[in-house]
Structure 1
Amino acid sequence: MKKMLSIFFLIFAVNINAQEKCVTKLDEKSGNPMLIGLINREAFADTNYAWWFDAEYKNYNVDSASLEKVIDKLNAYNIVIVMGTWCSDSRREVPRFFKILDYLKFPQEKIKMIAVDRNKKALDREIDKLNIEKVPDFIFYNGATEVGRIVESPKESLEKDISAIITK
């Protein structure tokens, strides 16, 4: 009986944890679905998001010359992406950012992506610690230390801004 009860609580805990990772809510402003919480790149395969992700990814040309200095250094970093599936800047910059990361062969497991609502809130309080004012927000970490951000849109280009952060 004890073993059955333990298995029940384990399954229950896993289900609760899975439910808190990501939800889809209706955006009151647009009437479209939006993702809230921890997401991964596979979320963009959904037809609600694939139309903008795939088009922007396909049409973006990576400036490989601007990445020469970071091609061997970026893997030492972790990246947190905070974005809104409702946000036009996120819809433009996030697919481009992933195309750059793919070009650099950056490990997907070193990326944490959080989808927020229009109030820049997610499902847990962790987002509050990140001081998000605009999205998308690409935050670069070396260990536990934040070393730089690209907020809303790049200053020069994504490639040049990434290079400036990594080669500080």
Structure 2
Amino acid sequence: MKKVITRIIALSVLAISLQEFNAQKLVVNREVETTADGKMLLGHQLKDQFTKEPYADWYQKEFNEYALDQKAVSELRKDKFNSYNLIVFMGTWCEDSHRDFPRLMKILDELKYPDSRLTIIAVNRKKESPTGDEVKYNIQKVPTIIVEKYGKEIGRIIEMPTTGYIERDLVEILKKDDRSVIKEIFKKEN
């Protein structure tokens, strides 16, 4: 009888612990004040945060002035880029992020990319976020744009696009994909 009662108590404690764990919500649009950099975004963000002050100054300027490579955008559309997931690590204190993040958002806007497939994570100067996602993705520099398919990374752009255009680098990443993800899935099943 004692074993049964002990098991019931243990299961009850486990169930309560799981409920508490599941109840923890992901904090979105966190903003912190720092002595060195003033206001900065930290952690998971929604894209509308960047249209607010003090971020709107650099964000809107770059978003509005960037001229898209329409040929590359057409390639992305043809290659069904909207079916891929994007994880973007950036810093609101970082000049490279000030340049490339708004450009990426303009590309995604042009493609009508679904917000549900986009994860934006703002990091501090040490490249850290409250959830520790930077460790999972081995983030060393920002911005880092990671392209995933079926939960597997197929490519990333680190700090600056190698072609000079984010959309061209994304086209190159999709060319490399070449169904290798599907091959990988079938390999695991055998």
What is the root-mean-square deviation of aligned Cα atoms in Å?
1.7
Amino acid at match of 1:163: V
Shift of 1:45: 2.2
Note if 1:88 corresponds to 2:95.
yes
Q: Which structure 2 segments of 5+ residues have no match?
A: 1-18, 177-190
For residue 69 of structure 2, what is the aligned residue in structure 1? 63
For residue 138 of structure 1, what is the aligned residue in structure 2? 145
1:25-68 C-alpha deviation (Å, 9 max, x unpaired): 223433x2001110010111221101110111000010011233
2-structure distance, mates of 1:61, 1:125: 34
Amino acid at match of 1:133: Q
1-structure distance, mates of 2:66, 2:81: 20
For residue 10 of structure 2, what is the aligned residue in structure 1? none
Q: Determine which of 30, 39, 45 is the counterpart of 1:23.
A: 30
For residue 164 of structure 1, what is the aligned residue in structure 2? 172
Q: Whose relative contact order is higher, 1 or 2, with alpha carbons under 8 Å and at least 6 apart?
A: 1
Amino acid at match of 2:103: R
Contact persistence 1:120–1:133 (CA under 8 A): yes
2-structure distance, mates of 1:153, 1:58: 19
Instruction: State the identity as a percent.
Output: 34
Tell me the SS of whatever aligns to 2:161.
coil
For residue 116 of structure 1, what is the aligned residue in structure 2? 123
- How many residues align structurally? 154
Tell me the SS of whatever aligns to 1:102.
helix
Amino acid at match of 1:17: K
**Normalised TM-score (structure 2):** 0.76
Amino acid at match of 1:47: E
Structure 1 runs (4+) greater than 3 angstroms displaced: none
Which of these two proteins has the greater Rg computed from alpha carbons?
2
Q: Which structure 1 segments of 5+ residues have no match?
A: 1-9
Shift of 1:88: 0.5
Shift of 1:22: 4.1
1:115-138 C-alpha deviation (Å, 9 max, x unpaired): 000001011123211100000000
What does 1:45-56 correspond to in 2, within 5 Å?
45-56=51-62
For residue 5 of structure 1, what is the aligned residue in structure 2? none
Which has the higher mean CA deviation after the structures are superposed, 138-147 or 72-81? 72-81
1:97-148 C-alpha deviation (Å, 9 max, x unpaired): 0101111111111100000000010111232111000000000000111000
Contact persistence 2:28–2:46 (CA under 8 A): no
For residue 3 of structure 1, what is the aligned residue in structure 2? none
